[in-house]
Amino acid sequence: MVWEPEKECMQRDELRQLQLEQLQAALARVYMHVPFYRKQFDACKVDPDDFRSLDDVRRLPFTSKADLQENYPYGLFAVPLREVVRIHASACMSTVVGYTRNDIKSWSNLVARVLCAGGVSKDDVVQIAYGYDLSTGGFGIHYGAERIGASVIPTSTGNTARQIKIMRDFKTTALVCTPSYALLIAETIHKQGINPGVLSLKYGLFGGEPWSEAVRQEIQDKLHIVATDNYGVSEVMGPGVASECMERKGLHINEDHFLVEVVDPQTLDPLPLGETGELVITTLTKEAFPVIRFRTRDLTSLLAEPCPCGRKTMRMARVAGRSDDVLIIRGTKVSPSQIAALLGEIEGQVPAHQVVVERPGALDEVTVLIAPSESSAFDELRKQHERLAAIAHRLSSELGLSINVKLVERKSVESGPRVLDKRKA
Ligand code: ZN
């Protein structure tokens, strides 16, 4: 099933022509309405009117997450706020994105493509266990599922026992969440001795964090479903950028809305098709928050071979990791330098610490190991306890993610690496 065959199955040369026209219009829009881009283009002596081929995009400067943060909150918006109908932000609130009514319309449509490619139709009952909050997952998928005409159950995250009860009682046929949460649900169902055969589940559409083929197999076997991977970037739109079809061999990129490049993360030179590098995205149709050559920091490669499903859009390989040190924890991005900066703010100076990421069960856990403060003696245990509780509270609320904090001997945090990621692929 293809949601929009006239776009998704468009001939390559027609698609390239459409992309070029859209790119010219997008560049003209940002040049006119966003001072940041105007300054950038002028500095590189780029005239948006003088783009003749899609390769000309390489003459434009990259946009990084830091550029977005420096223009917090509305500096990169290309329309006045009265035209913005929705605002989302990253968990730590450092980047803010907006959508016009048209943006919401195309977002819903692109998510409808994702759901349709993953098996969902208007006959399905879709349970959405992404957060309905500032992040783009919950609301992004929700509007797409309604657009298809499916029956949507907005359970949001957490309360696994209730998720399973709803799944059983409401006869959910499609589950949408992060792969690690799907795995937790699958494991809980098994622990409770529920036969997955009594569930009505057929499809699982998972995204928000990298996952392996082995995890896919485990979820499919335990829940008796077909599980597909989908990819989104909050700064670019949210879910709806790319998704697998039933072939499950690479994620189709919605190229009539996004121009993608893969570059060497060190030299930033373009890489030939098939080589793994950093994915860079230019939005072609976004009105409120267009981005030009946004460095996603996600590592992937592009596949140009035609897909048996009939879609002609290029596919990207499942994300293989990051080109920076950002950790993706239960779908939320956390950077170790941000943790260090917060610790410095709380304590007056950055204490010796180590960030440990583990996956004791299905879900990731982050623990910050901290050395005792210089001045404290061990008889002040109660004080240290209060200190740790205060740090844990502040980190968790600023990062939008629950973080454990433990006191350890100074030499053990000073000798180890700053970040210890113990998760298996
Ligand atoms: Zn396909």
Distance 224 CA to ligand 1 centre (A): 22
> pLDDT class for 268, splitting at 50, 70, 90?
very high
| pLDDT tops 60 at residue 299 | yes
Q: Where in the chain are all domains bearing CATH 3.40.50.12780?
A: 5-323
Share of the chain above pLDDT 70, in %: 98
Å from CA of 101 to ligand 1 middle = 29
- What is the pLDDT, as a whole number, of residue 253? 98
Cα distance between residue 260 and residue 262, in whole Å: 7
CA of 171 from ligand 1 middle (Å) equals: 28
Ligand 1 centroid to Cα of residue 28, in Å, is 33
Question: What does pTM read for this prediction?
Answer: 0.90
Intra-chain end-to-end CA distance of the chain, in Å: 31
Cα(1) to centroid(ligand 1), Å: 10
- CA 264 / ligand 1 centre spacing (Å): 26
Position 93 confidence tier, pLDDT thresholds 50, 70, 90: confident
Measure the CA–CA gap between 101 and 85, rounded to whole angstroms.
Answer: 6
- Cα of 308 from ligand 1 centre, angstroms: 6
Can you tell me the mean pLDDT for 48-71? 94
Specify which residues 366 forms β-bridges with.
Answer: 357
Residue 374, pLDDT score? 67
Encoding tokens for residue 166? Answer: 């709803």
Q: Residue for token digits 């139709």?
A: 121
How far does the centroid of ligand 1 lie from the alpha carbon of residue 225, in Å? Answer: 18
Q: Give 11 Cα–ligand 1 centroid separation in angstroms.
A: 15
Q: Rounded to the nearest whole angstrom, what is the distance from the C-alpha of residue 194 to the centroid of ligand 1?
A: 34
User: Ligand 1: distance of its center to the CA of 173 in Å?
Assistant: 22
380 pLDDT more than 80:
no
Which of 147-156, 292-301, 393-402 is predicted with the least confidence, judged by mean pLDDT? 393-402
The length of the chain is 425
Between the CA of 357 and the centroid of ligand 1 the distance, in Å, is 34
* pLDDT beyond 70 at 376: no
Q: What is the mean pLDDT of residues 128-156?
A: 97
Can you give the pLDDT at residue 412? 86
Averaged pLDDT, 74-89: 98
> What's the CA-to-centroid distance between 306 and ligand 1, angstroms?
8
**Cα of 200 from ligand 1 centre, angstroms:** 25
Cα 85 from Cα 288, distance rounded (Å) = 9
Q: What is the mean pLDDT of the chain?
A: 94
Residue 124, helix vs strand vs coil: coil
Across residues 203-231, what is the average pLDDT?
96
218 Cα: distance to centroid of ligand 1 (angstroms): 22
The CATH 3.30.300.30 domain(s) of the chain lie at: 329-421
**Cα-to-centroid distance, 396 and ligand 1 (Å):** 40
Asked whether residue 132 carries a pLDDT value surpassing 60, the answer given is: yes
In the reported structure, the alpha carbon of residue 111 is separated from the centroid of ligand 1 by a whole-number distance in angstroms of 16
pLDDT at 381: 76
- pLDDT on residue 275: 96
C-alpha angle 223/225/227, rounded to 5°? 110
**Which pLDDT value is given to residue 154?**
98
Tell me, in angstroms, the distance from the centre of ligand 1 to residue 85's CA: 33
Q: How far apart are CA 392 and CA 406, in angstroms?
A: 9
Q: Which single residue is written with the structure tokens 């610790």?
A: 343
User: What local confidence, expressed as pLDDT, does residue 348 receive?
Assistant: 87
What is the average per-residue pLDDT within 204-233?
Answer: 96
Q: How confident is the model at residue 320 (pLDDT cuts 50, 70, 90)?
A: confident
Q: What is the pLDDT of residue 385?
A: 86
Could you tell me the distance, in angstroms and rounded to a whole number, from the CA of residue 311 to the centre of ligand 1? Answer: 6
Instruction: Decide: 315 and 302 in contact? Cβ < 8 Å.
Output: yes
pLDDT of amino acid 331 = 87
Query: Can you tell me the mean pLDDT for 163-189?
Result: 96
**4 C-alpha to ligand 1 centroid (Å):** 13
Ligand 1 center to 249 CA (angstroms): 7
Q: Which CATH superfamily is domain 5-323 in?
A: ANL, N-terminal domain (3.40.50.12780)
What band does 92 get if pLDDT is binned at 50, 70 and 90? confident
pLDDT in tens, 323-360: 998 999 988 889 898 899 899 999 888 989 999 999 99
Cα(307) to ligand 1 centroid in Å equals: 5
CA 395-399-401 angle, 5° bins = 90
Q: What's the 252 CA to ligand 1 centre distance in angstroms?
A: 6
Distance 246 CA to ligand 1 centre (A): 7
| pLDDT bucket at 361, cuts 50 / 70 / 90 | confident
> Which residues lie below 8 Å from residue 255, measured CB to CB, with a gap of 6+?
15, 19, 313, 314
Report the pLDDT value the prediction gives residue 377, as an integer from 0 to 100.
59
What is the C-alpha separation between 297 and 64, in angstroms, rounded? 9
The answer, yes or no, to whether residue 254 has pLDDT greater than 70, is yes
pLDDT at res. 383:
84
Q: How close is the Cα of 79 to the center of ligand 1, in Å?
A: 35
What's the average model confidence in pLDDT over 48-62? 92
Position 49 pLDDT exceeds 90: no
11 pLDDT higher than 90: yes
Q: What angle separates helix 336-347 from helix 381-399, to the nearest 10 degrees?
A: 130
Which class would CATH give 329-421?
alpha beta
CA of 305 to the centre of ligand 1 (A): 10
Find the 309 Cα to ligand 1 centroid distance in Å: 4
Under the banding of pLDDT at 50, 70 and 90, the label for residue 424 is: low
Which of 52 and 280 is assigned the larger pLDDT? Answer: 280
Distance 283 CA to ligand 1 centre (A): 22
pLDDT interval class at 378 (50, 70, 90) = low
